[in-house]
A and B are shown apart, each in its own frame.
Chain A
Amino acid sequence: MSLAELICPSGTPAALRTAVDAGADAVYCGFQDATNARNFPGLNFTPDELEASVAYAHAKGTKVLLALNTYPPAGKVDLWRQAADTGARLGVDAFIVADMGVAHYIARTYPAVRLHLSVQAAASSPEAIRYYCENFGIKRVVLPRILTIPEIRQIRKEIPCEIETFIFGNHGLMVEGRCSLTNYLTGQSTNMDGVCSPASDVEYTRQADGSMSSQLAGFTIDCFGPDEKAGYPTICKGRYTAPHRPDGYYAFEEPISLNLSRLLPDLIDAGVHAFKIEGRQRSKSYVRGVVSAFRAAIDDIRAGRQANIANLVALTEGQKQTQGAFETKKWR
């Protein structure tokens, strides 16, 4: 059986301490710039904050994974190299990378530091994963949220590295690292700037009848009736019309959370080494609640006890949740 490490989000130093205290085996975080895919306002770490956070985590036996998982545009590669240099100096336990140039730099310069392949690299086949393993010494791949458990089991047999999968949080739909939707509407790129539906371009407009619309850069991403729950205007979660769908429908997916708690034992059995909780942009209360619940469940499973799945399911109680592609390929 795999170790089933719990990998937890840390958007701020306080969230990092919360995750560590709640039982994370590892936390992942990024700097306050384009070098990571959650380059959101007010989020992330200065080098000084990371230094103190690494000390805090290491004192409690928790690993720190640094996300350098965006794609440097030509002419700006130094920012990513410097981020790697800083991370190595501060003693992070692994870098999470997507760009081949960045991976090559770290593999060559810091061969002793582990490299994890970010979901942003979109490696979804044994061959793609092996390409990164053989060329950059990748030790772990974060799989895209598009594979079924039998597919994951099969991949495990064919690759020389560990597997990390998402188990909880925002349900990304597009192949990560291949999405320019935000850049198309806002001029800020997910791949190059680490930005997705930036708050600076978000606007909510309330109509006299109590209905509300959410806009991104002036484009209406959705409209909500007076009693309907409003959503953040993420392009792939909006409602649009199409020739066959005159009434407005979720063209890509309903707003829904990924919750694989029921599949946890199966995923461990399939050989998944580490479980990732999404949500560096979420609050401490989210981190505390979700990390503690999954910690307890994984400990139960490791000890051969029946895990209290109900607690995990309750984390998204009252909301729509999905097991996405993991359960059935009908999702596709």
Chain B
Amino acid sequence: MAVREMTKLTLGPIAYHWSADARRDFYARIADEAPVDEVYLGEVICSKRAPFHEADLPATIDRLERGGKRVILSTLAEVMLKRERKATEDLAAMDTPEIEINNAAGLFARGKRPHRIGPFMNAYNEATIAWMAGQGATHVCLPSEMPAPAVAVATRAARDLGLRVEVQVFGRASLAVSARCYHARAHNRTKDNCQFVCEQDLDGMPLRTRDDRPILRVNGIQTQSESYIDLLPESPRLIADGVTHLRLMPQAVDMVSVASVFRDALDDRLGVGDAEVSLRDLCANVPFSNGFYHGQAGYQRIAMSAPA
């Protein structure tokens, strides 16, 4: 790949219920070793989990900033209960760090003060992005199910309005959220009495079809793809189309190495083929997919033709 020092690598918010200790260790390593430029923190999926790591947040922010990373706080995707409304309002009131909004309740609270638009905000098109830009959005993360032509058009429109544009290039895709907790349900519990069973599944709880084919992952109220999105081979095209930020979602693999592979590929220290081999090694048996981007079924892996 050509030199892309302008392109930022970001680390999305942890979608899973990793323990406070695991998070501390994870972010310490990210701060010291991972070649990512920006890190999103905060609980996006389940408001019940937030108390477990909220107390550590200031220290984590400090640690990451000392490591040279820009920190952004992400708001909840689902806002319904009082505590969720309060959490969203509190985040929206902050001046620093930057915030990424994932629910219209956050947009309401934020008013016209600058903010980022998260992947749950359904910024699918130029009309919506233009509206959001007029309301103070400075940065938009596109929905991961968008196909390449739409990504290109949306990106051009956003860049023309002065917005930065982010696309998820690694990790499980968020496919659905619900009011109901499917982790609790699997253990015959309700959401209010979940006893945090989701902490057992660091990379989501696998669902298989009844003829034993892996299909989806459950993460509390969220349903995710079984496959990891991998748009490393597509990154040059994303960048050529004007995408400024490439998002890696934290999975239960060596994320420092994953980030390094992406950074090395972006900076031409590693060819795409070798980078793909490295990524494959880091992710054991997890299937990779890029179907959404190619306008195919999301789970599919479409082979890229060799660059000319």
Do A's and B's CB atoms come within 8 Å in the complex? yes
Q: Is the CB of A101 within 8 A of B209?
A: no
Are A252 and B145 in contact (CB-based, < 8 A)? no
Interface check A72, CB cutoff 8 A: yes
Give the total of B residues in contact with A, Cβ under 8 Å: 76
Whether the pair A242, B178 counts as a contact (CB closer than 8 A) is no
A311 contacts the other chain (CB 8 A): no
- Min CB–CB distance A12 → chain B (angstroms): 28
Contacts of A123 in B (CB 8 A): 104
**Which one of B28-36, B57-65, B184-192 is at the interface?**
B184-192
8 Å CB interface, B105-145 against A: 105, 107-109, 120, 122, 124-132, 135, 143-145
Q: Least Cβ distance of B209 to chain A in Å?
A: 4
Residues of A within 8 A of B291 (CB): 184, 187
Q: Flag if B177 contacts A178 (CB, 8 Å).
A: yes
The answer to whether the Cβ of A49 comes within 8 Å of any Cβ in the partner chain is: no
List the B residue with the shortest CB-CB distance to A172.
B178
Are B78 and A191 in contact (CB-based, < 8 A)?
Answer: no
A192 at the A/B interface (Cβ < 8 Å)? yes
Q: List residues of B whose CB falls within 8 A of some A CB.
A: 77-80, 84-85, 88-89, 103-105, 107-109, 120, 122, 124-132, 135, 143-147, 149-154, 157, 173-182, 185-187, 190-192, 205-213, 215-216, 218, 223, 225, 291-292, 295-300
Closest chain A residue to B225, Cβ basis: A184
Distance of A173 Cα from B178 Cα, bound (Å): 6
Contact B125 A99 (CB under 8 A): yes
CB of A222 within 8 Å of the partner chain:
yes
Contact flag A240-B132 (CB < 8 Å), given A73-B125, A178-B120: no
Please state if A73 and B179 are interface contacts (CB–CB under 8 Å). no
Interface stretch, picked from A88-96, A213-221, A300-308, is A213-221
Q: Is the CB of A147 within 8 A of B80?
A: yes
Q: How far is the CA of A174 from the CA of B182 in the complex (A)?
A: 11
A240 with B209: CB separation less than 8 A: yes
Interfacial residues, chain A to chain B (CB-CB below 8 A): 71-77, 98-102, 104-105, 121, 123-128, 130-132, 134-135, 144, 146-147, 151, 173-175, 177-181, 183-187, 189, 191-192, 213, 217, 219-223, 235-236, 238-245, 248-249, 251-253, 325, 329-332
Q: Are A101 and B125 in contact (CB under 8 A)?
A: yes
A76-B150, A332-B179 known, 5 other contacts, Cβ within 8 Å: A72-B125, A74-B153, A105-B127, A184-B173, A219-B213
The chain A residue sitting closest to B184, CB to CB, is A332
B186 touches A245 (CB 8 A): yes
**A146:B145 contact, CB within 8 angstroms:** no
Please give, as numbers and ranges, the residues of chain A lying within 8 Å of B149 by CB-CB distance.
Answer: 74-75
B37 to chain A, nearest CB (A): 25
Q: Contact: A239 with B124, CB < 8 Å?
A: no
- Measured in the bound complex, the distance between the Cα atoms of B173 and A325 in whole Å is 27
Which one of B85, B180, B206, B298 contacts A243 once the chains associate, using CB atoms below 8 Å?
A: B206
Chain B nearest CB from A253 CB (Å) reads: 8
Contact B124–A128 (Cβ < 8 Å): no
- Residues on B with beta carbons closer than 8 Å to the beta carbon of A130: 108
- Distance in Å: Cβ of A1 to nearest Cβ of chain B: 26
With both chains docked as a complex, state the minimum distance between the C-beta of A147 and any C-beta of chain B, in angstroms: 7
What A residues does B179 contact at CB under 8 A? 124, 144, 146, 175, 325, 332
Q: Which of A125, A192, A251 contacts B207 (CB 8 A)?
A: A251
Contacting pair B126 A240 (CB below 8 A): no
Report the Cα distance A192→B182, complex, angstroms.
Answer: 26
| Interface contact A251-B297, CB-CB below 8 Å | no
Q: How far is the CB of A217 from chain B (nearest CB, A)?
A: 6
Do A74 and B213 have beta carbons less than 8 Å apart?
no
21 A-B residue pairs with CB within 8 Å: A75-B150, A77-B127, A125-B105, A175-B176, A175-B177, A175-B179, A178-B122, A180-B174, A180-B292, A181-B175, A184-B299, A185-B297, A185-B298, A187-B295, A192-B146, A240-B216, A242-B186, A244-B187, A251-B182, A251-B185, A332-B190
User: CB < 8 Å: which of A147, A186, A332 contacts B297?
Assistant: A186
A174 near B124 with CB under 8 A, answer: no
- Considering the chains assembled together, what is the distance between the CA atoms of A178 and B177 in angstroms? 7
* Residues on B with beta carbons closer than 8 Å to the beta carbon of A127: 79, 85, 88-89, 104-105, 108-109
Contact B122 A128 (CB under 8 A): no
Contact call A241/B207, Cβ cutoff below 8 A: yes
| Residues from chain A with Cβ under 8 Å of B120 in the complex | 178
- Please list the 4 inter-chain residue pairs (A to B) with the smallest Cβ-Cβ separation, ordered nearest first: A101-B127, A146-B179, A74-B154, A101-B128
Q: Assuming A99-B128, A242-B218, is B297 touching A178 (CB within 8 A)?
A: no
Q: Enumerate chain A residues within 8 angstroms of B107, measured Cβ to Cβ.
A: 131
Q: B225 — which chain A residues lie within 8 A by C-beta?
A: 184
Partner of B128, one of A76, A100, A125, A243: A100
Which of A105, A125, A186, A220 is the one whose CB lies under 8 Å from B84? A125
Chain A residue at minimal CB-CB distance from B205: A242
Closest-by-CB residue of A relative to B185 is A251
State in angstroms the CA–CA spacing of A130 and B106 once bound together: 11
B183 to chain A, nearest CB (A): 9
Given A101-B125, A175-B179, A240-B216, check contact A73 B131 (CB 8 Å). Answer: no
Closest A residue by C-beta to B120: A178
CA distance A177 to B254 in the complex (A): 33
Contact at A74–B157, with CB atoms within 8 Å?
A: yes
Cβ distance B68 to chain A, nearest Cβ, rounded Å: 33
Nearest CB in chain B: distance from A73 CB, A? 4
